[in-house]
Amino acid sequence: MAALGWLTPRRRSATARSVLAGEASAEAARKTAQAGAPHAPEAAGAPETAPAPPSGEAPETEAAAATAQTEAPETEAAEPEFPVHGDDLAAAFFDLDNTVMQGAAIFHFGRGLYKREFFRRRELARFAWQQAWFRLAGVEDPEHMQDARDSALSIVKGHKVSELMAIGEEIYDEYMAERIWPGTRALAQAHLDAGQKVWLVTAAPVETATIIARRLGLTGALGTVAESVDGVYTGRLVGEPLHGPAKAEAVRALAAAEDLDLERCAAYSDSHNDIPMLSLVGHPYAINPDTKLRKHARANDWRLRDYRTGRKAVKVGVPAAAGVGAIAGGTAAAIALHRRRK
Catalytically active residues, by annotation: 95, 97
Q: Which residues contact 341 (CB under 8 A, 6 or more apart)?
A: 121, 122, 125
What single letter denotes the amino acid at residue 57?
A: E
Map residue 285 onto helix, strand or coil: strand
State CA 197 to chain mean position distance: 16
Contacts of residues 165-173 at CB distance under 8 Å and 24 or more positions apart, as own/partner, are: 165/207, 165/211, 167/112, 167/113, 167/116, 168/109, 168/112, 168/207, 168/208, 168/211, 169/211, 170/112, 171/108, 171/109, 171/111, 171/112, 171/113, 172/211, 172/212, 172/215
Phi and psi at residue 205, in whole multiples of 5°?
Answer: -55, 140
What single letter denotes the amino acid at residue 211?
A: I
CA distance 144 to 243: 11
CA distance 265 to 259: 12
- How many helices, marked H, and strands, marked E, lie in the chain? 13, 8
Phi and psi at residue 285, in whole multiples of 5°?
Answer: -125, 135
